[in-house]
Chains A and B, each alone.
Chain A
Amino acid sequence: MLNPDLKLNTAIFADDAEQQPIRKGFGEGLLKAGDANKNIVALSADLTESTQMHLFKEKFPERFIEIGVAEQNLAATASGLAAMGKYPFFSSYAMFSPGRNWEQIRTTICYNDRPAVIVGSHAGVSVGPDGGTHQAIEDMALMRVLPRMTVISPCDAIQAKQATLALSSNPRIAYLRLAREKTPIITTEETPFEIGKGQIMYRPEGLAQVAIIATGALVVHALRAAKDLEKKGVKVIVANIHTIKPIDTDLLIQLAKEAKAIVSVEEHQIAGGLGSAIAEVIIQKYPVPMEFIGVRDLFGQSGTPNELVEKYGMGKDSIIAAVLKIIDRKSIS
């Protein structure tokens, strides 16, 4: 059942559960953050409405800078603003920022130690019809590897808003990963949020046989998979890791100890993403078998979001299959 402490949306398992694009929560959060922190400035690379920055722009035009289609300049200009005490949030599609401007982010922001938030929208294959050029599935790996970088991947629009507000009140260098498509609302305004703190969203009766650890837009699939599995008598615990870095090591170890098997779920290359981050912890602290749900060293393509999530083996049925497979592996070992 859903963890009552988190006050999640109990309608989440219904097919007609309310949906919102994750990026929308960022736009609303930034608007609110702009009031609370006057040092916040926003920079856009010709994708202002698409990344939901238009709300901030309309209310605080004097704190909004249109950079044009120039992502390298987007990052390095933000560094200069931060050097003068501003707290920049700069947005584009994840494929272009941090995709194109990685070195500027490394040198002028991280190495230079200038607090700024990189907002990468349209992450994952669920971008859909635009095709593989626009589907960032390498971005968490690119950002996770940088010293001083916090990496946040919210599971829904409300959590994106909470993450934006949490970032706004405590300046740091961070990457905020957002998705384009509407996805079901899992959390509520009452759900607690703390950067770096994972959330156990679903618990079976008794001890779990498998822990599913998910992030971003696929968390809902993990929850629905757990519910279906429970009906078949398979006990699964589901955790949402919204902060990929610094990752919640304590929670990962706790889950490994209880379930003794982990399935990671992310809309990202398996190499370098959430699953890798979990494995780095688990292999050192409490080794247990793992299965990885994610893109297997491929590029995306055009299609509907659902078609693509299925095609690349990241849907509910793929998660269920991975859980059953890892139970087999446990029984052998």
Chain B
Amino acid sequence: MQQRDFTIRELTLKANEIRQSIISMLLEAGSGHTAGPLGMADVFTTLYFDLLRHDPANPTWSERDRLVLSNGHICPVLYAAMAHSGYFPVEELLTLRKYGSRLQGHPHRDFLPYLENSSGPLGSGLSQAVGMAIADRMDNGIATSRTIYCLLGDGELNEGNNWEAIMLGGKEKLHNLIAIVDRNNIQIDGYTEDVMPLDSLNKKWESFNWHVQEIDGNNIQAIIDAVHQAKAVFEKPSVIIARTIPGKGVKEFERKFEWHGKAPNKEEASIALNELRTLGGKIKSEHK
């Protein structure tokens, strides 16, 4: 099922709603990751409301694209995007990380079967996506119209398993595979270039025979254009290095690695929600 076309403005507002959900979920859970989910809200919104071939009413639709989340810790944004696009009720988001919830602290297919993969330990998502892309090509031939997306963090590129997968993807020339790297420059111990330098990241991927684009990952039009561009590349897999602002949308959280792995308290959440509801102070909030 192709969903109706949303305008960029509608998608921007949708991303804002998803950010609000993320804050509410994390406050209720009392633990979890804040910076990554907020930074990736625009990418997930654009995927779930524009780019993905999927049908939330029929999650096992055989013709669907596949979305593999490699860095499972940013799952609040995945859950929020899934709920807002119709996979399950938005109210369920507040069960995140609680006993008996379908929304496990890191995604688990046993609990939420609409997930394409369970994840948490870093570095193995791209291998799974490569396997899916190879299987898709075995079944549907070189002209397959399906896209396998893999979302990765930049910090997780420290894991060697990724580079094994990047090598295999390049070797197999998997044009049906698009990797999107959340290049937000932070990881738990600090800024990525201090913990373990990744640059020149684009040259690294290029040298493994991938088509590389570097974009503003908080610009919805840029995300749409990059994915369309990636789909137009036939001879190799594509990576989109999405430069995002960690904590995007909440000034107090932005660009601070301290927000990688913690949840906001009540006061911080209230400030964050107010900022999101007023679009950063541009409009008045009815809630305050």
Which A residues form the contact surface with B (CB < 8 A)? 41, 62-63, 65, 67-68, 70, 72-73, 75-86, 88, 103-104, 107-108, 111-113
B227 adjacent to chain A (CB < 8 Å)? no
Q: Which residues of A contact B139 (CB under 8 A)?
A: 84-85
Those of B7-58 within 8 Å (CB) of chain A: none
How long is the Cα–Cα vector from A330 to B25 in the complex, in angstroms? Answer: 63
B127 adjacent to A73 (CB under 8 Å): yes
A83 adjacent to B66 (CB under 8 Å): yes
B92 adjacent to chain A (CB < 8 Å)? no
Q: Which residues of B contact A85 (CB under 8 A)?
A: 135, 139
Q: Which residues of A contact B124 (CB under 8 A)?
A: 72, 76, 79, 104, 107-108
B128 adjacent to A103 (CB under 8 Å): no
Separation in Å of the A75 CB from the closest CB of chain B?
8
Separation in Å of the A242 CB from the closest CB of chain B?
29
Q: Give per-residue flags for B200-238: 1 if the beta carbon is below 8 A from chain A beta carbons, else 0.
A: 000000000000000000000000000000000000000
B130 adjacent to A77 (CB under 8 Å): yes
A76 adjacent to B161 (CB under 8 Å): yes
B109 adjacent to chain A (CB < 8 Å)? yes
A76 adjacent to B108 (CB under 8 Å): no
A73 adjacent to B168 (CB under 8 Å): yes
B280 adjacent to chain A (CB < 8 Å)? no
Those of B112-142 within 8 Å (CB) of chain A: 116-121, 123-124, 127-136, 138-139
Q: Which residues of B contact A82 (CB under 8 A)?
A: 131
With A68-B167, A83-B116, A107-B119 as known contacts, state yes or no: A76 contacts B131, CB within 8 Å. yes
Q: Which residues of B contact A113 (CB under 8 A)?
A: 109-110
How long is the Cα–Cα vector from A167 to B116 in the complex, in angstroms? Answer: 24
Residue of B nearest to A66 (CB): B171
Cβ-neighbour of A84 out of B110, B136, B161, B168 (below 8 A): B136
Given A70-B167, A77-B165, A80-B129; 9 other pairs, CB 8 A cutoff: A63-B138, A68-B167, A79-B117, A79-B127, A84-B66, A86-B138, A104-B161, A107-B121, A113-B110
B252 adjacent to chain A (CB < 8 Å)? no
Separation in Å of the A77 CB from the closest CB of chain B?
4
Q: Give per-residue flags for B163-174: 1 if the beta carbon is below 8 A from chain A beta carbons, else 0.
A: 011011000000
Separation in Å of the B33 CB from the closest CB of chain A?
18
A111 adjacent to B128 (CB under 8 Å): no
Separation in Å of the B152 CB from the closest CB of chain A?
13
How long is the Cα–Cα vector from A73 to B125 in the complex, in angstroms? Answer: 10
B160 adjacent to chain A (CB < 8 Å)? yes
With A41-B138, A103-B121, A107-B118 as known contacts, state yes or no: A80 contacts B128, CB within 8 Å. yes
B164 adjacent to A83 (CB under 8 Å): no
B161 adjacent to A80 (CB under 8 Å): no
Residue of A nearest to B108 (CB): A111
Q: Which residues of B contact A81 (CB under 8 A)?
A: 131-132, 134-135
Separation in Å of the B125 CB from the closest CB of chain A?
8
How long is the Cα–Cα vector from A86 to B138 in the complex, in angstroms? Answer: 10
How long is the Cα–Cα vector from A282 to B104 in the complex, in angstroms? Answer: 37
B161 adjacent to A72 (CB under 8 Å): yes
B127 adjacent to A108 (CB under 8 Å): yes
Separation in Å of the B190 CB from the closest CB of chain A?
25
B128 adjacent to A77 (CB under 8 Å): yes
Cβ-neighbour of B128 out of A65, A68, A108 (below 8 A): A108
Q: Give per-residue flags for B68-87: 1 if the beta carbon is below 8 A from chain A beta carbons, else 0.
A: 10000000000000000000
A78 adjacent to B108 (CB under 8 Å): no
Cβ-neighbour of A73 out of B108, B110, B133, B164 (below 8 A): B164
